[in-house]
Amino acid sequence: AQTVTQSQPEMSVQEAETVTLSCTYDTSESDYYLFWYKQPPSRQMILVIRQEAYKQQNATENRFSVNFQKAAKSFSLKISDSQLGDAAMYFCAYRSAEEYGNKLVFGAGTILRVKS
């Protein structure tokens, strides 16, 4: 079974600064997808960024980028130029590409606080 670990329960960042959220995962599969979701106080999970394991290039979406290290099974999220609206709970998630279906395995989450 796959597991996802987020070792930082809480992080703080100053507005306009950069912060990195950590995520490691364990799997015996070679093909899979990794995601970062944001859950603001409204509770709705919003997809921030996604990465396909067979792609070496790190995904980027505007101020959000990932550092994907497949051998180390590490998938960290970097948020540049942090904004107050980035404050939320962030979840790292895994989805198999070898098993048919849409099941996501989530980490415990990291609360991100943004200070003005």
CB of 81 to other proteins, least distance (A): 25
Q: Which is nearer to other proteins, 20 or 52 (CB)?
A: 52
Cα separation, 110 vs 116, whole angstroms: 19
Answer whether 80's CB lies under 8 Å from 19's CB: no
Angle value at C-alpha 25, between 19 and 26, nearest 5 degrees: 165
φ, ψ dihedrals at 3, nearest 5°: -135, 150
Looking at the Cβ atoms of 75 and 107, the one nearer to other proteins is 107
d(CA 4, CA 63): 24
**Would you tell me which residues interact with other proteins (CB under 8 A)?**
33, 37, 42-47, 50, 52, 91, 97-98, 100-109
The least distance separating other proteins from the CB of residue 101, rounded to whole angstroms, comes to 5
What are the start-end ranges of the E strands in 70-108? 74-79, 88-96, 105-106
Q: How far is the CB of 103 from other proteins (least distance, A)?
A: 5
43/116 with CB nearer other proteins: 43
- Residue (28 or 102) nearer to other proteins, CB: 102
